[in-house]
Amino acid sequence: MRKLSIITAICLSTLSVPALAGTEHYSTAKTPIRELLADPAAKAVLARHFPEFVNNPSVAQGKADRFTIRFIRKFKPRIFTDARVNAADADLAKLPAR
């Protein structure tokens, strides 16, 4: 009987995981660039704050897809200033949770 209780508890705990879906917002620290560019609203935020980045042919080729904005900012500090990155995060937080 105890084994059945443990198995039931494990099964029920996995059911609650989908309830967490849709609660996380995009961010420049955690969301890969490919995800941001795949969502039209998030891409518009990036285009507003970093037009030179979004319109770069290397970005269109997917060369930065797996990285986050906060990761690549160390390579392009003039584009990804603290003010611009923080403003982008504020706008991304206004988008519906994914």
Domain boundaries, the chain: 23-94
- In the predicted structure, residue 1 carries a pLDDT above the cut 80: no
3-state secondary structure 42-79: HHHHHHHHCHHHHCCHHHHCCCCCCCCHHHHCCCCCCC
Q: What is the pLDDT of residues 29-83, one digit of tens each?
A: 999 999 999 999 999 999 999 999 999 999 989 988 999 999 999 999 999 999 9
Mean pLDDT calculated for residue range 80-87: 97
4-18 burial by CB neighbour count: b if 16+ within 10 A, else e?
eeeeeeeeeeeeeee
pTM of the full predicted structure?
A: 0.74
In the block, which residue shows the tokens 């969301």? 31
